[in-house]
Amino acid sequence: MKDFSEIKTRLRIRQQELMQRIAQISAQVRHEDTPLPSDFEDQATERENEEVMDALGSAARRELDQINRTLQHIDDGDYGACRDCGREINAARLEALPFASRCIECADRAES
Ligand SMILES: [Zn+2]
């Protein structure tokens, strides 16, 4: 089995960042820090902010999901194999795209 410890470390760091960000976002959305403004206009702005924060939150959650799955694959020992042809995915490709699940040939074929 190949050594993916470098990718794993990178993913763990990113995982921590994302979990912190998600915690911050949900704290803000729940108004734990700031009370809801009484002014109507401010409330509208506040709601818009919440929508933006929600979008940011779901993007962060999606990335976190991907990271969790990838870390699981590494632990299971099936990381780095192309899901179409089963060959090893090039190390440089994984370095650049840690979530890649196909080798470059199969990815090209899937896109065209
Ligand atoms: Zn392939």
How far, in Å, is the centroid of ligand 1 from the Cα of 7? 20
C-alpha of residue 61 to centroid of ligand 1, in Å: 28
**% the chain with pLDDT above 70:** 93
Each residue's pLDDT tens digit, 51-97:
888 898 999 999 999 999 999 999 999 899 999 999 999 999 999 99
The amino acid that residue 104 corresponds to is I
Lowest mean pLDDT across 13-17, 32-36, 85-89, 94-98 = 32-36
89 CA → ligand 1 middle, Å = 7
Q: What is the DSSP letter of 101?
A: -
pLDDT band at 32 (very low <50, low <70, confident <90, very high): low
Residue 83 near residue 101 (C-beta atoms within 8 A): yes
Q: How far is the CA of 64 from the centre of ligand 1 (A)?
A: 25
Q: Look at residue 94 and give its three-state secondary structure.
A: helix
pLDDT more than 90, % of the chain: 64
